[in-house]
Amino acid sequence: MDNILTRRSIRKFRSNHVTDEDIEKILRAAMSAPSAANKQPWEFIVIKDRKILDKIPEFHPYAKMAREASIAIVVCGDTRRSDDRGFWIQDCAAASQNILLAANSLGLGSVWCGVYPKEDLTDKFKELFNLPKEVYPVSFIPIGYPNEEKPPSERFDEDKIHNDKW
Amino acid sequence: MDNILTRRSIRKFRSNHVTDEDIEKILRAAMSAPSAANKQPWEFIVIKDRKILDKIPEFHPYAKMAREASIAIVVCGDTRRSDDRGFWIQDCAAASQNILLAANSLGLGSVWCGVYPKEDLTDKFKELFNLPKEVYPVSFIPIGYPNEEKPPSERFDEDKIHNDKW
């Protein structure tokens, strides 16, 4: 529970190396998300190549921190493995959230940069990675050792809770 | 991390009461999710009323377990608080995932029943709770003490990992 409450969006990173072991743990967490009809429509591009990490802020206006991050993960949805009810987007969002939480539990920082359904952004990612036409990038998540400290957020708001009726 | 890996969809519940304290913890976790531009477009309907819990499986084909659940949470997105880039669905999905994980960490079971974007289901929820037209139900999550045991799932699949390129 503490892991959920202490996770914050980290946009400043130290240059320390993220190990392959930690990357695998993070991806294991991502794939432990639930998905509609257990279709697991997700695919993950792990970016370690500095040239690719540097290229993404050239077209994504909120991804400048990629230049500092050790790695990034692009969570993609393969609509060929979706059941046509449109739940694949939420499946990929659940996997993305698990990535953020897993990173936090390993002492790493991360930030979820939205991609889908912004067409200009999805097109750029599709082009950069030459994705099959049925595969859509949903989120772009830079990861690294935090170079900033943030207290738990205070987002709890009782006004957003409705008891048995709106 | 263990919390993420051990979470499973629980569809059988004991009749034990879920405390208000635990419900608040779960909602605190939900509201700790990230959201695009920090818009926090989520709203939560907590259903404790047995009559309402029993009514939902009458129109939702995959929500029969609501009849056994102690409570359920409907995660809704208020599109008036969205920034029009369509990220509110993923924001609500991240909050939903936090609900599942928080429940698991408290020894509770839960299951994510998809609602949005299935129009027939969203219409029924909107009608049942008389939601403002800009508010959409995204997920329906029955919660209770588990009456089934499931080992961690083995969904890890190396073929879904792409290194620097597709």
| Interface subset of A 6-35, CB within 8 angstroms of B | 7, 9, 25, 27-29, 31-34
Contact B114 A29 (CB under 8 A): no
The average pLDDT across B140-153 equals: 96
Distance, CA of B22 to CA of A141 (rounded, Å): 31
Task: Flag whether A155 is in a domain.
Answer: no
Task: Flag whether B55 is in a domain.
Answer: yes
Tell me the two tokens of residue B35. Answer: 């959201």
Neighbours of B153 (CB within 10 A): 17
Task: Flag whether B80 is in a domain.
Answer: yes
Q: Which phi and psi angles does A146 have, rounded to 5°?
A: -65, 140
Task: Flag whether B161 is in a domain.
Answer: no
Contact A101 B4 (CB under 8 A): yes
Query: What pLDDT score does A47 carry?
Result: 98
Interface-testing mutation among A106, A122, A155, A158, with chain B (most B C-beta atoms within 10 A) = A155
Distance in Å, alpha carbon of A8 to nearest chain B alpha carbon: 8
For A142, what's the count of Cα atoms within 13 Å in the CB-facing half-sphere? 29
Interface contact B69, partner A, CB < 8 A: no
Query: What pLDDT score does A6 carry?
Result: 97
How many separate domains does chain A show? 1
Tell me the two tokens of residue A107. Answer: 């002492």
Choose the weakest-confidence range: A34-43, A76-85, B10-19: A76-85
Closest residue in chain A to residue B97, using alpha carbons only = A94
Query: Is residue B3 very low, low, confident or very high in pLDDT (cuts 50, 70, 90)?
Result: very high
CATH of residue A88's domain is: 3.40.109.10
Contact B130 A166 (CB under 8 A): yes
Query: Is residue A84 very low, low, confident or very high in pLDDT (cuts 50, 70, 90)?
Result: confident
3-state DSSP percent of chain B in helix, strand and coil, to 5: 40, 20, 40
Distance in Å, alpha carbon of B113 to nearest chain A alpha carbon: 8
The domain of A31 spans: 10-148
Query: What pLDDT score does B28 carry?
Result: 98
Task: Flag whether A5 is in a domain.
Answer: no
Query: What pLDDT score does B84 carry?
Result: 72
Write out pLDDT tens, residues A39-68: 999 999 999 999 999 999 999 999 999 999
Task: Flag whether B34 is in a domain.
Answer: yes
Task: Flag whether B90 is in a domain.
Answer: yes
Task: Report CA torsion sign: A103, A104, A107, A108.
Answer: positive
Contact B7 A32 (CB under 8 A): yes
Task: Flag whether A2 is in a domain.
Answer: no
Interface contact A128, partner B, CB < 8 A: no
Distance in Å, alpha carbon of B12 to nearest chain A alpha carbon: 17
Chain A neighbors of B27, CB-CB under 8 A: 156, 161
Assess contact for A145 and A14: CB atoms under 8 A. yes
Interface-testing mutation among A20, A49, A160, with chain B (most B C-beta atoms within 10 A) = A160
Contact B1 A25 (CB under 8 A): yes
